Structure 1
Amino acid sequence: MTFPWAYSIKGKLLALTLFPILLTLGVLALLTAYWTSNYTDRQLYMKVAADLAVAQGTLDMMQDRQLERLVQLSNAWQVHDDIFHQDPERLEELVARIRDNHGFDFLRLLPVDELEKIEATQPSLAGLTRRVLAGDSLTGLSIMSADEMELWHPGLVDKARVDILVTPRARPTDKTVENRAMLVRSLHPITNAEGEITFLLDGGLLLNHNLEFVDTIRELVYGPGALPAEGLGTVTLFLDDVRITTNVPGLISEVGASAQRAIGTRISAEVSDRVLGEELIWLDRAFVVYDWFISAYEPLYDLRGDLVGVLYAGFSEGPFFTQYLKTLAELGVALLSVLAVSAFFVWQGSNRLFAPVKRIHDSVMAVRLGQKDARIGEIESKDEMRDLAHQFDAMLDELDSRQQTIKAAAEQLERKVEQRTLSLQQKTQDLEKHIELLKATREQLFTKEKLAVLGELTAGIAHEINNPAAVILGHMDLLQAELGEAALPVQQEIDTVVEQVYRIRAIINNLLQYTRPGQHLDQLDTLDINAVTRDTLALVRHALDKQDVEVIQTYQEVVSVQGNRQQIQQVLVNLLINAGNALEGEPGKIYLSTHPWQSSEAKPGVEIRIRDEGKGMAPEIKAQIFEPFFTTREGGNGLGLSISRSLIRRYGGDIEVDSELGKGSCFSVYLLQEAQINDEDEAIMRQLLSGLGVV
């Protein structure tokens, strides 16, 4: 299905105008949704982590307060030491009264001389009494079995019992009842007037079905305004994976009734694996009994350091997700409203803008259909369209007047065209051939002219360099002879000057030697490439230091290679200077290294790598850098890399480059242990230098 306006300029302009707006609004909506989601998730997880910290702090505070009460009782009893010498039944009544008045679920005095017998019947005390006898008061979580409670605290058995319920997403279990009790337990020594420990005061608070504990924390962290209107904040205490106290609402039963609390339900399998299995904190969304909650779980340990349960804090995810969808919907409505208003104004503007264009189009179509008197007429707009309409009408008038003249001349022109067509076709073909020949000739002449100028300059420079080089050598000999032994402190510097002058002369001689056909190649030497590389770096050190360029050197154990020392140094100097230039005058690093290498024929050799952190090269530039006279640097002659590659290929080696725009370049120089003279590259090198005008 197509729309007529889709083929009009007005329709295309409308689409062209609205598309960027629509694209911008769409991207904005996606980015807003992404940022909102990430920010919301991050804030929610930060909040639930803080809620868990408050819950843990409340539990720690409960333990500390319980121990403080025991310490206060101990101090009071220590003042009235005669209490412990009274009748045991009266002492037991006193302890029971204190237990009821101070909110303990159990409180008892353990005689020191009976501790061994007591521990035999109460495993939960095993190992703890020795620590208290050493002078340490203990407070923390403790697990007491049903048998132990039946023996020492019968009233706790029914209070601690938790019926285990089938829970969605929990790990399957055959266990139906949890008879153990989790206690906040405190142990404190009581001393007599002589400072001897005579009793241990053992008190505890049962956490099974302890709704006050979880409700207090919920009111603290999930009070009014802490969550959305329908948000549900919950706190839970687990014994192993069973909820023993919680304010999470219970599951709906088969008869439709819902329990007020989800006590007896179990933790989900994935949370159990992480918190109880790996003993790590869970901070993520999790399935809690019947729905998804933003949850934080933390493993709990008893006084002996054993993992006994989990502390949980979290709130329902649904209200936040609903609020998130509502925000996205409001944003979508706002963006669509902006798009609709923009489309309306663009459509109205295009109608006013293209009304003159439509009149011009209608007139053109009328003339095309043969209505010779069709004209555009006066246009109300005072812009280029008005001038265009006037010019178009004038053109139509002139077209009518000339049409007859053209028609009369057309017949005569057709005859002349027929006569000259054959001749013109032949001349056209000849002209095309001459044009191609002319283009080729112009390119050759331009190249030869450039080569001739460069050749004259190179020959002159070679002559001018050799003369001062000879003068420098003569004066250095005279200076050394005149100074005698006084020259010994600077003998190394004198030798370096002489060596580099000879190197200059060798480079000039090598350059000129390539211009003499039939000449033999320079004598090949066996070179320690690591030493040559270090010496070369010394030659360019000053230029690189001025730019604050650091050279990172890495030399591996490599074989010796055959080649000409000065020519290889010339190649390395060129590559190092180019690497420095690639940094564009900014401080940076160049990485210089040597590596063992084998050719494709498995012949041993050496690879020299020079890598920079410069601007890199685009693929089209990289493909041309070894071509003669190609350069991207202002003032460059485009010969450095071309000559360098030819010099290396003379010995059977090669230069390769790996570069990526914006990430720098790496040049690799490959040299064989036994040089293989490449006659083809030798001929190319001579042809190149011949073009320079030095032959």
Structure 2
Amino acid sequence: MKLRSRIFISILIVILVLGSAIALLGFVVIQREIVARSQDEVSRNLKSMRYIYNAKTDGIIEALSIISHNGINKILPSEIGADYIRVATQISDTPSSVVRNAFYEKKIISGSRLVAPAELELLGKAFAADSAIYIVETQRARPTEKKVEDRALVIECAIPRLDYLGNVTSVLYAGRIINNDVDLIDEIHNFIFEDTLYEGKLPGTATIFLDDVRITTNVLTEKGERAIGTRVSEEVYNKVIGSGEAYRSRAFVVTDWYVTAYEPISDPDGKRIGALYVGRLEKPFMDMTIRVLLIFGLILAGSAVAGSIISFFLASNISKPVFEMYKATKKISSGLYPKQVSTGSRIKEIHSLAEAFETMILDLSARESAITAKSEQLAALNKSYLDLIGFVSHELKGILASTILNAYTVRDGFLGMINFKQRKALDSITRNLDYLAETVKNFLNLSRIEKGELNISKAECLLREDIFDETLEAFGKAIADQEMVVINEIPVGEKIPADRDMLFIVANNIVGNAIKYGNEKGRIILSVSANGDMTDIEIYNDGQPLSKEDADKMFGKFVRLDLAKKRHVKGTGLGLYITKEIVERHGGTLACRLEEEGNSFIISLPRGKHEESA
């Protein structure tokens, strides 16, 4: 493809991307300003519905207060907006939680509750028949085998009657059955929404649910009938009735998508028994969105055509000089640095760009030469550094071995008896020699790591017998001097594929640290556990718990922690770094877990097949 075509297509893509961004921005604005505003309005509508729903109990309470003083003779429930009026002289007279709370709390109680079929029969046989809701199969609802909802949702008020001692003698209560109460839902709808249709559908709807079943609603089915008996979607049910949260979003309601708001209805005991719903038909807002986006699309299409024509001529004028610079960049990428770039352009900006490009080529050439020379110098210095560490460590290792042997031979009296002061001096010498030997080993291992010569050769070994028993034996005197208690919970015969020598270094470093930084007379606990495909080896010691900051940095090279109680302990800051490198070369991990009275180091090693790695 020619450069001119590429420039033309690139500019065209920019136009299309910008146009799409503008369209997306327009869509977001519409969503935020129209749909979001509609969602806010629906939320306010739900508050209004809740107010009307609760207000029904207020009217019943006022009427019951009058009846409580004047008696219930010749008073019909319908006159006070109720379906029944009853008197309970003791709690066992009714299963109503509203009445029960009125007995216990000695005050007026109101709320919603569920009435079982048997109680409906006691209230009146007509109630049981009129309250039955036949369940209709509904899209997106949760699965159910129930065919009839024979319970009823009621709003109920109870007023306790007290004697002169303040004891409850009886409770006067009344309730309104919500099942099939279309008058209530129509009253709510007329108060909240305008009485219009959009494409033959109500733009605003309201519903009261018993569990997930619509027991009264003005939502219509495809046949134009009230959708009583249909059910709420499973998504809404899980959030509102399952989790007790309000749901404010778009939802599928029987036949259409609505901008909706739901909130749960709870009984006096806090159990969720139903939900209130209001919603506005989503289609009017979506139609408005489509119309606005269509206008945006026409404007953007016109802009794209105009921009395409302009970009074609612009691409033709700049394609040749840009192509020359493109060829120059290809030479640079292959290591050639042309001294001049001929553009032949009369455009001032292009000419200036070509001059800057030539200057950049000269700078890049000089910088590459300098970087190459510096890299060679650093590589030589690094090799010398590693060779020196390896040579010195190797030479010192042999000398120290002989020196340590002789020092211990003299100290332990093999060459003749020594006095107390001589023994004390030789103890100091041997401690320093041990520290120096450990330092030499660490620097030798560091040299092997830095030079990539730390090879891991795995073979099956016994974790306790081959590794940790020998480690604990080597540190036996140090453990005895500290009067520490070692609890080795690693099972006998526990096997793991690992490089025995390398894992021995790991065990020595971790156990050695546990002794050096642990409390006198403290515990060291060794344990092992399976963790999926890994084996976790845990070494715990009583001691000063580390800070999180120290735990994060302690595995670095030459890092020593400033622990107030252990500042006298010597070290190079290499032990944990080398340990971590060895564990990771095994394909494992090393971590520190902070405990209340100490610290645990967890070595995680794979329990896979034997393999070799470098």
What TM-score, normalized to structure 2?
Answer: 0.48
By percentage of residues, which structure has more helix? 1
What TM-score, normalized to structure 1?
Answer: 0.44
Structure with greater Cα Rg? 1
